[in-house]
Structure 1
Amino acid sequence: MAELPGQQGAPTPPWRYQSPQPPRPKKSRTALILGFVAAALVLCCGGLALVGAIADKPDPAPKAAAAADRSSSSSSSSAPAAAGTSAPAVAPSASTPPVVTTTTPGAPVVDATTTTAKATPTVKATPTVKATPTVKATPTAQATTKPPAPGSNLCGAPANPYGYNFCGGSYIYNPPSDICNYLNCIANFWNGVGYVIQCQDGTFSKSGGRSGSCSHHQGNRRSLYSP
């Protein structure tokens, strides 16, 4: 170690001059983050593979149940043959006759008789439609009035079956519907609201007692009366 000027022969403290140490390498944060991500991906892939293997593993329960069913069916079918007993192949019912079968040890089962029951069609009774009697309306007999005898005096009134005349009596406010078959009625005879009168031209009106009656037929002449 070199001595400083002015201090020749004096010891140098150990803390003052030390040998240089090599620099420590710095760790990269990016490398650490990538390492953690890779480890997480590996763990996820391993967990998914384990779950898939567990899900794809076949269930032995159905195979065991199928084997048990086969063994029970074989034992039940071989039991009657070994014992030499007979059993009916088809259970008798109300609709079909029983089928008798005979089984012999070591021989195939043969049906003695086979019958097919056919359904008998049901005949439905067709209701009989009764004709409803038609009620015919009985015509009402109308009273017919005979015209007056040739010798009857109507005082110049036209012949009619009702005895209407010019001699005298009651005014006719409601004449029968066929009165115009015997009288020469004006065109608007049934529009009148009075009694029956004769106009000067010989026609008959139903406006007697009203102003303007027979105004288009030369005026009023005389009234027609009911006996």
Structure 2
Amino acid sequence: MATPSDSATDSRFRGEAPENAIETAHALYRSELSNTSFSEVLLSWTSHFVFALVPEDVGMEEALTTEGPDGHTFIAVFTSLSRAAATVASAGLPHRPLAVSIFEVIFLAEPNFGLVINPTIPVWEWTFLSGELERLRTLLLTPLPLFERGSICAIRGAEYYQAAKILMVDDHGVHIRLYSNCWPSPPERIDVSTLILDSEGPGQALGIGHLPFTTKAFLAQGPVAFQQSTVTEEELDGYQIWQQDQGGYFAS
């Protein structure tokens, strides 16, 4: 697995405090370089957006990339909106920060691309070469308790962020309940009491009671978990019908 470069040593020796839980987990891993601390990094990724830089009115397909000294291409993301915005301002880029799940970036990246986190901020920079990123994909597709049953998530669509609940996680994929609630920008919180399924009114999207995705396809949807909730027997109706029919999984 990738390890930080010498320029990305523990922030406690640089006098710069982390801005969020992702950076706190990264600093811990840099200090310990253990499997346990790396698991904390993965868990921090489940509940926080990162920020790619994209041109106005364009999505992730045109996300900013950078070229390493070896000529390899890396997708650039930032661990906070402020860090992304500061890079845009200082470099005079014609781009805007776009909140995305790091899992979406990892699974939608071209096979020969790497990933660089905070490329303009040496103390918080972390680089994954293309081969390291492929090993990370393999790790993420093994049964890991990153997203739990009952997790309330936001999933990024082409035009909005939509609420979803994880109904079940099995060895092959993730089953979700997709709500009609959606937002043009990342929600700061999701009020479970307001979640609805069957409305397509203004500012709402199509809700679906049960959607089975392969683990890879689910992570590529860009989920970010906000809180835990319960799963009722009624909410499992679609899942149980799927089981009886021996249904498959959406792979993309």
TM-score range, shorter chain: under 0.3
Instruction: With the length of structure 2 as denominator, give the TM-score of the two structures.
Output: 0.16
Structure with higher Rg: it is 1
Normalized per residue, the structure richer in strand is 2
Where relative contact order (Cα < 8 A, 6+ residues apart) is larger, the structure is: 2
Instruction: With the length of structure 1 as denominator, give the TM-score of the two structures.
Output: 0.17
Normalized per residue, the structure richer in helix is 2
